[in-house]
Every structure is written in structure tokens, then in C-alpha cells.
Amino acid sequence: MTELIRHPKVMQKAQLEVRKALNGKIRIEEGDMHKLPYINQVIKETLRLHPPGPLLVPRLCCETIELAGYTIPVESRVVINVWAMMRDPKYWEDPEIFQPERFEEKAIDLSVANFEFTPFGGGRRICPGMSFALASMELWLAQLLFYFDWELPGGRSPHELDVEEAFGLTLTRKNDLCLVATYHA
């Protein structure tokens, strides 16, 4: 929701998609999600910029290897910085900019090894809850955008929003996000 509040045009586009696709319905169901590709793009772009786990579980190097001019000895602990990978300009044009449309052209399947986009890890150690997490995010976001219009309290500008993050085992907002919801009839 932080990125949507910061980018009102993106929120409007996502709301329009949900409201148009579900016109006449009073309840969103999981079967409706295939009608909402832009919602999926918004979620992927949010996960790219704000991965839930900024660092993957450490791995143990099983043999001495040479990588990018560095020697990594056997039994070294290796930590993969997902946060940095998903902001690497080698793979992402304007990596610091929130732009869901980048996933319109870039077909990325989260269940395979696309190492430029790994918000849930990869390979044998991929998060077992990935499918549930994605389905939950899509359904909840679609409902929030279908039923409500959102704004900052007191008429504050999106540019005033504090977007600082707290790094740890998981990546979270440092401060709570307070929004005003207005029911959309």
C-alpha cells in the first residue's frame, strides 16, 4: 500500500482494473485473479523493491571456488543479498523506480531460477509458502482496491510519506502506515 499511495496513478490504474473486471460482483474470489494482470505486476514490483527477506538463508560453500575474482574457501558461509540483486542496474532499468509495467514485458516465473528476481529464494530452498503468500497478497490487495479509496490522513501529500525501512531477518516499514479508507459504492 505504501508504493500505491506514493504513486496515485498506479493505484488508480489498479483500482480501475479490479473494478472493471469485477463489475456487478459484490465479492472477489480466487477464481477472479486471472482477470487482474496489473495487480500481479504491482505485487511483483513491490516484492522486487521490498523483498520480505532481504537476505537469503546462508549457504555453506561445499568446495573452494573463484567468483568474480574472489576466492571463496570451502565451508565458508555465503549470504545472498536479494535486496541488492533486485536493484541491480545490470538486470533492471531504473532499478530504484517503482514501475509495475516492467513486468508486463518481463515474463518471470517465480517457481524457476530467475536469479534477478528471487523474493522467495530459489532452487531447493525456495520458500514453501510462496504460492500461498502470492495468492493471499493478490486477493487482499484486490479487495482493498475494489472496496475502498485510499488517502493519507489530513490531506498530506504522498511525497511527505516516510518510507524508511527496518532491516532485519525480514524487511518491514520502520513506521506504521496510517491511511484513510473511504468505502467505494
Rounded mean pLDDT, 103-120: 72
* CA 9 to mean position of chain CA atoms: 18
SS3 state at 161? coil
pTM exceeding the 0.85 threshold for the entire prediction: yes
Annotated binding site: 127
**Nearest Cα to Cα of residue 44 among 133, 151, 143, 154:** 133
Element (H, E) at 45: helix 37-49
Using 50, 70 and 90 to split pLDDT, how confident is the model at 113? Answer: low
Out of 87-91, 94-98, 158-162, which region has the weakest mean confidence (pLDDT)? Answer: 158-162
> Vertex 172, ends 136 and 4: CA angle to 5°?
60
Compute φ and ψ for 152, nearest 5 degrees: -80, 150
pLDDT for res 109: 63
Digit-coded pLDDT (tens) for 28-87: 888 899 999 999 999 999 999 999 888 888 889 999 999 889 999 999 999 888 899 999
Element (H, E) at 141: helix 130-147
Angstrom distance (rounded) from CA 155 to CA 153: 6
Annotated binding site for heme: 127
